[in-house]
A and B are shown apart, each in its own frame.
Chain A
Amino acid sequence: MSQIKQPQSNKFRYLRSSRFWLAGPATLIVSIFIMAAMSLWLPEGKASIDHLVFPLVLFPLIWVIVFFYVVLENNIKRARWVMLALLLLNALPVIASILGWLK
């Protein structure tokens, strides 16, 4: 009985893997927060637009870097902590800015 069930459970084994959730939704959320936070700390440049333009340009690259970090990191526990740190580091200034605390 268990032999029959084995292939079916293999098909969806990724759904039970924390790496799958880290590389999927978590990577997307962290990338979006990194992009948003960049607009707060990047220099504005001569035209006062660099801090707005560069996050937009770099978003695909940020997503790919975070995605491959999660995939290539052998120590999944470390990957979890790094992702959490990245999330907090970037989400806090973004939330503070939205709430108007940075003015």
Chain B
Amino acid sequence: MIDVSKGTARRLVDIHGWSAAVLGLALYIVVFSGAIVVFSHEIGNWSVSGHKQGEGIAGNIDAKLISLAEQVDEDYLEEVTLFQNSAGELITFFHTHVNNDEGELEEKGTRFVLDPDSLEILSRDDGFREDMPIISSGFLERFYIDLHVRLHAPGVIGLYLTGILGLILFVSAVSGFILHRHLIKDVFLSPRLSTRLMNTRDRHALAGTWGLVFSILLAFTGAFFSFATTLGLPVIAITAFAGDQHLALETIIGIPEAEDDTPKNFVGLEAIITNSQQEDVAGSTPIFIAVQHWGRADSRVITTHGPTAEGSMFFTNHRYDGVTGEYLGEKPGLGNVPSTGSTVIGLIGVLHFGWFAGLLSRIIWLSLGLAMCYVTLTGLQLWVQRREKSDTWQSLSRFISVIGYGLPFSMVTAAVGFLFSYSSSEYDVENWTVTGFLLGVVLSFIVGFVYPVAEQREKLFQKITGLGFISLPIIRLLTSEQSWAEYSHAIAVMSMDISLFITGLILLVLSTGIMRAKRFNVKASVETSATEPAFEAKA
């Protein structure tokens, strides 16, 4: 424990407690959804029952792209992006950058969604990127990511909200660290059974100690992602670029070379992709491609490659001449030449998303994320248990289980809405996924208010959430029109099915109450409470 005066300790306890009491449940939503979207790609893949067949980005795409380029407005050839989503569909966006009605610079162009095998156009949309309809095949994954990134709040408000919650997590972790009395000892703490209060306190301390470094790391990197473009970039632009945000962003990303708008044929992507797959270049198929100035002498192609098991743990970018196809070397994530700043940003991404050791690190990130959810919920339980005599706090206590169990339950019902609508009518996917989520929220609140006794309420939540998890692989199987055996090649789908089934079973076992702790020793509780330090009892 760091030595602090009694008054300072009391201030820290107030900050630690009140910040969590006011924003703890919102923080829980961000942390829980964040832990789940560590596997967003797998969720997206599972939600459409595995990749669609076809070579996709690594196939013969040149002829199709050239024909698409002839169908769009000439201005939209300023930049062309291409990637393959979790469902395997190819998405290409021919666009330019213009000011929208609010005077903000935005991407405007034509977006095509292509079948990865036949390259048939599945959909075509024109206009500003923000106004375009959702791509139904990746919507469940997008829905979960948006819940984590912006709590589905519009525009920059969502990013500000999650940024503030990131700072709250940072403050809670640091104040908890300063107040903590036995940091090393508590790693091996066995929660006391003397009273419910002591038991909750010990469980909170135990999980908090294990997740301390993780929570500081995630809070720091998460707050950076939320504030970098919404607050930091405008401030830096005002200070160093006379308010020109576009110039500030361009400087950070890398000042483009001198322009040359002489018409020249675009070289095509197939040879470039093949070159980038060589071991001495990136050694993998690009996950994202950007073509700048298609059909001009100054055309450049940037291929982006994900972290590889045996190669780099960072994302890498490689630059090619868009007229000759010549390899121009690796391009740093930021700036035109390697720099400390670019490496640090790469490291922040790796640490926040848990990419540094492949699947293993992502499993650890999921586990520690769930541990942080446990810390948040036990902290809130501790807060209301210490206010047993306050009717207001006792009536508010049911929100802990309503949100605690209601969030995973609503995410399950959102997935049910997605699965049914995706199989029947892709145009209704957005409506039904959102409706499924809202139905889950409403049901959770009904359970919360119909069952006033905490134990009964939690058991029912465990039952319905458990059944929800078990129902997901069954619904996916029924709606995908293929048998389970046909997914033997799709490891992500099989793994997700099994994981959902096991999670459901665990929740059903928990709902029977056989794992619950024995009754607490009332006599011992009085004695132990008396030994608690004053500032803890007041928290």
Contacts and interface: CB of A to CB of B under 8 A. Distances in A.
A33 B208 CA distance: 33
A45 B339 CA distance: 7
A4 interface: no
Contacts of A49: 251-252, 334-335, 339, 341-342
A98 B243 CA distance: 9
Contact of A39 (B166, B240, B342): B240
Contacts of A68: 171, 174
B219 to A, nearest CB: 7
A85 interface: no
Size category of the binding interface on chain B:
35 or more
B336 to A, nearest CB: 6
A31 to B, nearest CB: 10
B223 interface: yes
B133 interface: no
Contacts, number: 114
Contacts of A8: none
Nearest to A45: B339
B25 interface: no
A72 interface: yes
A36 B238 contact: yes
B5 A52 contact: no
B181 interface: no
B15 A47 contact: no
Interface in A39-75: 39-40, 45-50, 52-57, 59-61, 63-64, 67-68, 71-72, 74
B333 to A, nearest CB: 10
Contact of B15 (A35, A46, A50, A71): A71
A97 interface: yes
Nearest to A73: B8
B155 interface: no
B239 A47 contact: no
Given A36-B239, A39-B239, A49-B334, A57 B345 contact: yes
Contacts of A36: 235-236, 238-239
Interface in A16-37: 19, 32, 35-37
Given A35-B235, A59-B224, A52 B337 contact: no
A63 to B, nearest CB: 6
A20 B334 CA distance: 39
A19 B10 CA distance: 14
A74 B7 CA distance: 8
A83 interface: no
Contacts of B350: none
Interface stretch (B113-121, B225-233, B444-452): B225-233
A68 B170 CA distance: 11
A65 to B, nearest CB: 10
Q: Which of A19, A37, A94 has the most CB of B within 10 A?
A: A94
Given A48-B335, A50-B339, A59-B232, A64 B345 contact: no
B399 interface: no
B425 to A, nearest CB: 43
Given A36-B236, A55-B232, A59-B231, A47 B335 contact: yes
Contacts of A72: 4, 8, 178
Contacts of B178: 72
Contacts of A45: 339-341
Contacts of B15: 71
6 contacts: A36-B239, A49-B335, A55-B232, A56-B224, A59-B232, A67-B171
Given A45-B339, A54-B341, A57-B228, 20 more contacts: A35-B235, A39-B239, A45-B340, A46-B338, A46-B339, A47-B335, A47-B337, A47-B341, A47-B342, A49-B251, A49-B342, A50-B339, A55-B236, A56-B224, A56-B227, A59-B228, A59-B232, A64-B167, A64-B170, A72-B178
